[in-house]
Structure 1
Amino acid sequence: MGTVYTVFSVLATLAGALLVVVLLLNRLAPLTAARLGMELERWRAGLRLKRVAVPGFVMPYLEGGRGTPLVLVHGFGGDKDNFTRIARYLTPHYHVVIPDLPGFGEATRDAAASYTIAEQVERLRAFLDQVAPGPVHLGGNSMGGFIAAQFAATYPQRVASLWLLDPAGTAAAQSSAVLERYRDTGDMPLLLRQPGDVQRLIASTTHREPFLPYCVRTWLGRRGAADLALHQRIMHQLTTAPLLEQQYRELAPPALIVWGQQDRILHPSGAAALGALFRRSRTILMPGIGHLPMLEAPRQSARDYLAFRRESAPA
């Protein structure tokens, strides 16, 4: 016991020292501080960074925990670290796998490639063939939820259950004022024309703003602005993709549908539309939460998911 205590004490000391370094570098060297801060959050969540290659792309991913695989897919403009904070409540229970989708995060960007929902589904399949080849529990937020639902429809034998957090993919969800304005004018807070637009992005996607230090906001703003041309193309492909209800009448996997009631990006009425599509589903509407429940309320979102998994487990 003494040895174990000593190891944990040393690790806690190192983590504390790293946090001090991050705070010192926050404004002096924001990109370095952001990288170190993300490493610290990954460590706290029990996640390790790995990479695999799929045709045309390298997909980095975070992995941690043991048990049945739980694969989490980020939304438009996001990356694997959108799930790092909630992962600390999940890795004690599951084998958590969180990839960067091609075109986002640290994954390969190919300006000549196409990034339709169907094509991202196939890239996710190629990724899972290597990392988790059997059935998985699959989750996704926003665009990632659309991809997860379509993956389940395309490869039902590969999906044990779904966790859909404010997902795109239905006419109701995509009837929000933000998307109506995008269709009319091309203006969209998820598309960063300059690094400072990150403040608008955060305000539009969250109701309960998570703590994001200056260094992380700076890093996200610079990356988003650099990706503008590519992400404009991907946004067009996302918003013109065939909707789930246009393709399927009923989907079989048990699904937990979660929606922030203050979501301004995708309309909360999408929850009912998905509930009609998934014959075995449970819906949770979260008051005071916006588009990113896993960042705004990670502990509660994880508790709700753990309860769903207990309730939907085979007798």
Structure 2
Amino acid sequence: MSDEPVTYVRTGTAGTPAVVCLHGIGSNADAFRDVLALLAPTHQGIAPNTPGYGGSIPLPTAHPAVTDYATALVAFLDRLALPAWHLVGSSMGALIAAAVAAAHPGRVESLLLTAPATGAGRTPETRQAELTARADLIALGPARMAETRAPQLIAGNAPGPLHAVKEATRALDPAAYMQAAHVLAGGDIFTYTPHIQARTLIVCGTADKVAPPEDHARPISEAIPGSELVLLPDLGHVIELEAPEALAALIARHTTSP
């Protein structure tokens, strides 16, 4: 598909339930490879690279909004001829997933938010603080950023997840990273939660230092009536890399619930 502006990982068989997985700001679609491989016998899995990541074409604006990413995602899924999907979003991906679920309630069959980020768009001060922090990080350069940031994203020192996080960070395009930073800085998930109709499961690690559950996952769960909150002991911010078996099992359960 050389004319497809979005690069992506795809597994499973057409005609089975579609699970679409959205990565976070410092990650890419490869983070979900193990999860999707575990789901492949029963689900078709699609993990797109966010615009500007992993060879996907960047968005044309330097300061995109959450809705720009949401619109790009739906257009991509339309090109794949997928009318409905189970949507999974990690960190910033959770913010985008919430925007899609709010705008397209008839197409999102279920919603799972893992290590969700609320976004910093509630006040000018929080927006600027988020942008400044992200600009300072990327100014280190992807290689040095990988060494300083990666250990904050996982619980413990598991070599596999740590290596995967470092590799993803080294592959970052600084301009695309700052575009995504504007999404996190300007976004506020609580503008979307009142409009979410899909069955929602929220998953967070108890050792998440980037988006601690009491500040992010729990308030988001409380804002979505009927949602379920699952806290996974001793896991950090990238559950899809730290515990793919646990996350795949939760996705399988959630997508097959009545």
TM-score (norm 1): 0.70
**d(CA) in 2 for partners of 1:77, 1:126:** 23
1:106 aligns with 2:51: no
| Structure 1 residue corresponding to 2:6, chosen from 49, 59, 62 | 59
Which of these residues, 93, 98, 102, is aligned with residue 144 of structure 1? 93
**Residue 164 of structure 1 aligns with which residue?**
113
Does residue 72 of structure 1 match 2:72?
no
**Matched length:** 251
Query: Which residue, 148, 153, 165 being the options, matches 1:205?
Result: 153
Q: Which amino acid in the other structure matches residue 273 of structure 1? A: P
CA shift for structure 1 position 154: 0.4
Q: Which residue of 2 aligns with 1:4?
A: none
* Number of the residue aligned with 2:222: 276
Q: Secondary structure at the match of 1:157?
A: coil
Q: Which has the larger radius of gyration?
A: 1
Contact 1:60 1:107 in 2 (8 A): yes
Percent of aligned pairs sharing the same letter? 27
Question: Residues of 1 paired with 2:8 and 2:105: CA distance?
Answer: 23
2:212 corresponding residue in structure 1: 267
Deviations 1:127-164 (A, max 9, x none): 01111431111111011111011100001111000111
1:236 is displaced (CA, Å) by 3.0
1:62 offset after TM fit, Å?
1.2
CA distance in 1, matches of 2:227, 2:2: 33
Could you say which residue in structure 1 is the equivalent of 2:194? 249
Instruction: Tell me if the contact between 1:170 and 1:274 (Cα under 8 Å) persists in the aligned partners.
Output: no
Give the whole-Å Cα distance in 2 for the aligned partners of 1:103 and 1:295. Answer: 21
Residue 120 of structure 1 and its aligned partner are, at CA, apart by 0.3
Structure 2, unmatched stretches of 5+, are none
- The 2-side partners of 1:101 and 1:260 are apart by 23
The separation in 1 between residues aligned to 2:237 and 2:27, in whole angstroms, is 12
| Aligned-pair CA distance for 1:215 | 8.3
- Using the alignment, how far apart are the partners of 1:213 and 1:271 within structure 2? 22
**Contact 1:165–1:259 (CA under 8 A) maintained in structure 2:** yes
Distance 2:64 2:189 in 1: 17
- Secondary structure of the structure 2 residue equivalent to 1:134: coil
Unaligned 5+ runs, structure 1:
1-49
Return closer, same or farther for 1:273/1:232 CA change in 2, 3 Å cut-off.
Answer: same
Distance 1:82 1:72 in 2: 9
Q: Which moved more, 1:66-75 or 1:232-241?
A: 232-241
